[in-house]
Structure 1
Amino acid sequence: MSFKSIFAIVSLALLATAAPPKKATCSNGRTASNAVCCKWFDVLDDIQEGLFDGGECGEEVHESLRLTFHDAIGFSKTNPKAGGGADGSIIHFSDIETNYHANLGTDDIVELQRPIAIKHNVSFGDFIQFAGAVGVSNCGGGPRLQFLAGRSNNTFPAQDLTVPEPTDSVTKILGRMGDAGFSSNEVVALLASHSVAAQDHIDPAIHGSPFDSTFSEFDAQVFVEVLLKGTALPGNTSNPGEALSPLPGEMRLQSDALIARDPRTACEWQSFVDNHASMVSKFEAAMAKMAILGHNAHDLVDCSEVIPVPSKAKSNFAAIPAGKTLADIEASCKTKPFPKLAVLPGPEISVAPVPPS
């Protein structure tokens, strides 16, 4: 046997018997693969108890998840002055960015998050993405998002008009998102967040009107209900960015309705109707990409282990709401038939608003 062969065997043996990497000891007897991650356990405890009302999938979760996007999408591959991406600028420069029309309503969650980030001495960019990841993990059936720590507080204000609005055309939305590096399919995947979303400012008279009937569950129901024929408005008047809704009390965004029916996105939209696992997986991938816009992942530390494991959804299967039938579905994918779905029994339901915390 040659010396090189012996050396290779010895090297492999040493690798096989090497001790596993030593974990850092954190508060309350917890451990982390990197000491940098220890502080995030303390942040976790703080926000679950305070910001998220004991770990609920409530209004602050919806707002925190929204903020991850509104902070990060201030980024452009073609215009470096558009913004620094997921850098916390929406908190740093809240007097500027929360006044942009697309960011209306973000001021409340910004002011709730700011003192917590300062208390724990973490950057605003890190805190926004962490709070969004922890928050959505409180929603049954939700994703377990990646969290990378290490963003600095060195930032500048993002420009206006970097956040797509519900009044925008599909072409404009896909163009803006494409400029930030997202494909049309990734745009659809990101809209899974609307399964746990509600509106406050499109029609302030119906504060808290959700986008689907199971808004506390991260499920595919929103992908079904947006395809139902619109019949009425949850309020008494039509507002810019609002489309006819299929269920009393439910808000439908104009942009969601258009994306669900556009030939560039309709088939991807329909693909989630009966595939909860695919929806979650693709959402996780798109969010991992969004959360590091403007950063190099190699410069950050993976602290995903701190993010809680979400509970299972009550059901992994979307259904046609009571009072509706398959005939009410406006199937728009031309290459695949619409999946067979159960129809829930009973009379037509009304969707209650999301209660304020």
Structure 2
Amino acid sequence: MLLHSAILFTLAARAVAGASGSSNTSPSSPSTTSSASNSSSSGSSSTGSPSSTDCSTWSKVASDLSSTFQGCGPAARGAIRAPFHDCINNGCDGSLILGSECSRSENAGLPPTCTLLAAKAKQYNVGTADMIQFAAAVAIAVCPLGPRVRALVGRTDSSTPAAEGLVPSTKDPIAQILRQFAAVGMSAADVVALVGSHTVATQSFDDPSQAGKALDSTPSRWDVKFYSETKAGTAPYSFSSDRRMTNDSSTEGSWDRFARSQHAWAVAFTSAWDRFVVVGNDVGKLKDCSSSLPGSSKRRAEGMGSPMGDGAFH
């Protein structure tokens, strides 16, 4: 979903047709292959350093970024938004930063995040693709009520930029948005769950005349007010795509369910996120450093122990 400035990700993303490379496999279901491929697995690419799979290193990263993201403000919002822009085209390969995609208009508002994460990847000698995903996991955990998503590391970095124009706008038809996410293995319920990350979002580029407006009344809390306020028309600002999802036949049921239950949304969001942020990667080759995340000693997000992709969405 196309994110504008500190807003999370605006829905949708065109999967690159005919992409080739390693398959995306669910961590809990190694034999399951996603429909998305990593087209950057050949050509100009580089692999993150061995330290990128050292969980003690990632614990230091988590401690560092937790301070940066305290308050669930602009820095956290940018970090949560970044994976959508990195993963939706060529897969989660770090090309958002390494391929200079961050300077494109479709990624407006992300340059400060890209600069921060590039510097952190260099500072800790870890992969850029991993840093993008791990930073988002930290930001989600730091935001009040945020779930603990899975933090897998060991992705292959690529400096090959994805084709431009693959991140659509908030004006796209809902059917098109759902088709685009279906191409990377996301169901309609998954998309509704992921779009809930707008609960900690603000917008700057969807309507510049209203720059800075939040998408719900509590932009520093990971709560379900986004769903109820968007549907009621009481949110400070709403994207057209979000408003239309509230009453589209494919998405309305999930929207209403999440509006009623923080627990239901947490389960659905965690499952969808965990599958989305490994698009284009061989999950069997990744290492789980979730224990490095803030609050990892507590019970993780509802449903975290369930197999990814099970019936949590229906």
Query: Which TM bucket (shorter chain)?
Result: 0.7 to 0.9
Q: Which residue in 2 is equivalent to 1:354?
A: none
CA distance in 1, matches of 2:53, 2:184: 32
1:36-89: CA deviation from partner (whole Å, max 9, x where unpaired): 21100111122223x32xx22111111110001111111xxxxxxxx1x11110
CA contact (8 A) 2:223 2:262 kept: yes
CA distance in 1, matches of 2:294, 2:266: 15
Q: Which residue in 1 is equivalent to 2:63?
A: 45
Determine which of 177, 181, 204 is the counterpart of 2:185.
Answer: 181
Secondary structure of 1:153 counterpart: strand
CA contact (8 A) 1:164 1:176 kept: no
Q: Which residue in 2 is equivalent to 1:287?
A: 273
1:251-294: CA deviation from partner (whole Å, max 9, x where unpaired): 11000001111001100110111111110111011110111000
Q: Which residue in 1 is equivalent to 2:93?
A: 87
Measure how far apart 1:122 and its partner are: 0.7
Larger deviation, residues 156-165 vs 85-94: 156-165
Matched to 2:81, the amino acid is R
Measure how far apart 1:157 and its partner are: 1.1
Measure how far apart 1:136 and its partner are: 1.2
Measure how far apart 1:308 and its partner are: 1.2
- Runs of 4+ displaced beyond 4 Å: none
Q: Which residue in 2 is equivalent to 1:66?
A: 81
How high is the TM-score relative to the length of structure 2?
A: 0.75
Matched to 1:112, the amino acid is L
CA RMSD for the aligned pairs? 2.0
Secondary structure of 2:220 counterpart: coil
1:124-174: CA deviation from partner (whole Å, max 9, x where unpaired): 100000100001111111110100011122352112233232011101111
CA contact (8 A) 1:98 1:106 kept: yes
Q: Which residue in 1 is equivalent to 2:42?
A: none
Do residues 135 (structure 1) and 139 (structure 2) align?
A: yes
Q: Which residue in 2 is equivalent to 1:104?
A: 108
CA distance in 2, matches of 1:303, 1:256: 33
Secondary structure of 1:186 counterpart: helix
Secondary structure of 1:216 counterpart: coil
Which sections of structure 2, spanning at least 5 residues, go unmatched? 1-51, 299-314
Alignment of 1:212-251 (within 5 A): 212-229=216-233, 246-247=234-235, 250-251=236-237
Matched to 1:129, the amino acid is Q
Determine which of 71, 79, 101 is the counterpart of 1:56.
Answer: 71
CA distance in 2, matches of 1:172, 1:166: 11
How high is the TM-score relative to the length of structure 1?
A: 0.66
CA contact (8 A) 2:214 2:237 kept: yes
CA distance in 1, matches of 2:75, 2:202: 11
CA contact (8 A) 2:99 2:158 kept: no
Secondary structure of 1:56 counterpart: coil
Secondary structure of 1:195 counterpart: helix
Q: Which of the pair has more CA radius of gyration? A: 1
CA contact (8 A) 1:87 1:153 kept: yes
CA distance in 1, matches of 2:257, 2:132: 30
1:176-233: CA deviation from partner (whole Å, max 9, x where unpaired): 111122111110010110111111112234332110001111111011011114xxxx
Secondary structure of 1:182 counterpart: coil
Secondary structure of 1:261 counterpart: coil
Determine which of 166, 169, 178 is the counterpart of 1:162.
Answer: 166
Larger deviation, residues 100-109 vs 259-268: 100-109
Higher relative contact order (CA 8 A, sep 6+): 2
Measure how far apart 1:35 and its partner are: 7.6
Secondary structure of 1:262 counterpart: coil
Which sections of structure 1, spanning at least 5 residues, go unmatched? 1-33, 75-82, 230-245, 313-357
Secondary structure of 1:98 counterpart: helix
Q: Which residue in 1 is equivalent to 2:148?
A: 144
Do residues 211 (structure 1) and 215 (structure 2) align?
A: yes
Alignment of 1:245-260 (within 5 A): 246-247=234-235, 250-260=236-246
Q: 1:257 to 1:35 in 2, by over 3 A?
A: closer
Q: Which residue in 2 is equivalent to 1:193?
A: 197
CA distance in 2, matches of 1:293, 1:305: 22
Matched to 1:291, the amino acid is V
CA contact (8 A) 2:258 2:265 kept: yes
Instruction: Among all aligned residue pairs of Structure 1 and Structure 2, give the percentage whose two residues are the same amino acid.
Output: 33
